[in-house]
Amino acid sequence: MENKNTLENVVALCKRRGIIFQNSEIYGGMGGFFDYGPVGVEMLNNLKRYWWKDIVDKRENVVGIDGTIITHPKVWEASGHIENFGDEVVECKKCHQRFRPEDIEEKCPSCGNTEFTEPRSYNLLFKTEVGVIEGSKTTAYLRGEACQNIYLDFKNVVDSTRQQVPFGIAQIGKAFRNEVTPGKLTFRSREFEQWDLQFFVHPNDMEKWFEYWKDERMKFYKGLYRKHENLRFYQHPKEKLVFYAKDAFDIEYLAPWGWAENEGIHWRGDYDLTQHMKFSGTDLTYTDPITNEKFVPNIVETSGGVTRTFLYLLLDAYEEEDLGEGNSRTVLKINKDIAAYKAAIFPLVGNKEEIVTKAREVFDILSDGFKVVWDGRGNIGKRYRYQDEIGTPYCITVDYETLENNTVTVRDRDSMKQERIKIEDLDEYIS
Ligand code: ATP
């Protein structure tokens, strides 16, 4: 069961152990902007590789791209973001804080007042300017969703690769939304990352591929998190679907504040390519090389939040364990593929040269194949506690016995069991 304080504890852990920092903290911070620390950046990179491997590397019918954050401003007209990408905002008449109507239950969450202004709509896109000469600058936007690049590059990918419909284009990248109520650490931020797959299919095959990706994406999240009971599908009610969608599902995660979106699986039909054809005047129809049939490919989209998944992962992994006799530990039982370091290398003592040298050798051998970390500071118990808190699966101690028989102590994060392993077998043990 989730502890009510899990979010607070995870926030504290993130700062204490260099996972996530408030951006510009020395200036008092900026709501909705975060930096990843030395441990967090390793985990975040591992998480992105984990997705890329699953979506791109292991499939013959998906290729990747990496697009820009600023695109032609017409993209956002075509996508509807300039007209419709908004939230409703109400303002508390007493403390003047602004909220989304769905985030208030009668009373102002900040001051308890019950009077608000009428809801006004508010566009989430961040504006910027391109060009240097005053008067001839063009208004542009930081992308409000990363996936638009995929539609823009669709024709280039078809023309430059061996892919044929059905195939997918994948991308991981930043998105920016001037959210009214950023909060819950990185759950709702103003700068965040998304992973998107747009899978292009023949219109007659939509049903089949929609089901396929729905299953694949749930399998993916089940492979990532420990607590599968915290995952579910939420089907959007038919009356709330946009006109081009026959179906839509969210994969939701049970956060300490309730079920919340993790990823959307969307039936986009031919809407995106048709819109971009209309606004750009460029033909984006596809000609089947075998049948010569011309059609606008339909799209199954899977669009999830990388940084949001990362937060859910921390919540999923966080444990406080009672070890008896007044002892306890905090441990991050995070997926071993995502852990910042696969192993920590400890020289038992820092003042015995042979031990330190031997530990360096172990570090050098292992760091060829894995990300490992060195810790020669303080007593072993404290080093274990530190590595537990950042989720390092194995702690390897080089001691006096190592000098005699080339074995080391390997301690497992989850079971806390210790084993003697030969140095030459470590590689295999860890993988
Ligand atoms: P929500 O309803 O939570 O605002 P959304 O429906 O607007 O999300 P999409 O536009 O479908 O989200 O974006 C795809 C994914 O991007 C979401 O499932 C979520 O994981 C992530 N995401 C969206 N907005 C944010 C944000 N402000 N901060 C972090 N992640 C976000």
Bridge partners, 332 (sequence order) = 318
* Helix ranges restricted to H, 29-97: 38-52, 74-78, 81-84
Q: For 341-430, which CATH superfamily applies?
A: Anticodon-binding domain (3.40.50.800)
Q: What is the DSSP letter of 145?
A: S
Q: What is the pLDDT of residue 4?
A: 62
Q: Which among 192, 236, 253, 315 is the best mutation to test ligand 1's pocket, defined by most ligand atoms within 8 Å of the CB?
A: 192
Q: What is the DSSP letter of 76?
A: H
**Using a 6 Å cutoff on CB, does residue 40 contact ligand 1?**
no
Query: Domain residues of the chain, as ranges?
Result: 6-72+128-315, 341-430
**Using a 6 Å cutoff on CB, does residue 191 contact ligand 1?**
no
Nearest alpha carbon, ligand 1 atom 29:
188
Q: Which among 308, 309, 312, 313 is the best mutation to test ligand 1's pocket, defined by most ligand atoms within 8 Å of the CB?
A: 308
Find the 146 Cα to ligand 1 centroid distance in Å.
11
For β-strands 372-374 and 86-91, DSSP reports them as unpaired
**Using a 6 Å cutoff on CB, does residue 144 contact ligand 1?**
no
b/e per residue, 52-77, with b = 16+ CB within 10 A? bebbbeeeeebbbbebebebbeebbe
Enter the tokens of residue 160. 């430059």
Q: What is the pLDDT of residue 87?
A: 77
**Using a 6 Å cutoff on CB, does residue 143 contact ligand 1?**
no
- Return per-residue pLDDT of the chain as tens, 431 residues: 445 689 999 999 999 999 999 999 999 999 999 999 999 999 999 999 999 999 999 999 999 999 999 999 999 999 999 988 877 888 888 888 888 888 888 888 888 898 988 888 878 999 999 998 888 889 999 999 999 999 999 999 999 999 999 999 999 999 999 998 899 999 999 999 999 999 999 999 999 999 999 999 999 999 999 999 999 999 999 999 999 999 999 999 999 999 999 999 999 999 999 999 999 999 999 999 999 999 999 999 999 999 999 999 999 999 999 999 999 999 999 999 999 999 999 999 989 999 999 999 999 999 999 999 999 999 999 999 999 999 999 999 999 999 999 999 999 999 999 999 999 999 999 98
Q: What is the pLDDT of residue 1?
A: 41
Nearest alpha carbon, ligand 1 atom 10:
145
**Using a 6 Å cutoff on CB, does residue 148 contact ligand 1?**
no
Q: For 6-72+128-315, which CATH superfamily applies?
A: Bira Bifunctional Protein; Domain 2 (3.30.930.10)
Find the 276 Cα to ligand 1 centroid distance in Å.
23
Q: Which residues contact 427 (CB under 8 A, 6 or more apart)?
A: 365, 366, 369
Distance (Å) of CA 293 to CA 192, 285, 296: 40, 10, 10
Nearest alpha carbon, ligand 1 atom 20:
305
Nearest alpha carbon, ligand 1 atom 27:
188
Supply the pTM of this predicted model: 0.94
Element (H, E) at 263: strand 258-269
Q: What is the pLDDT of residue 3?
A: 56
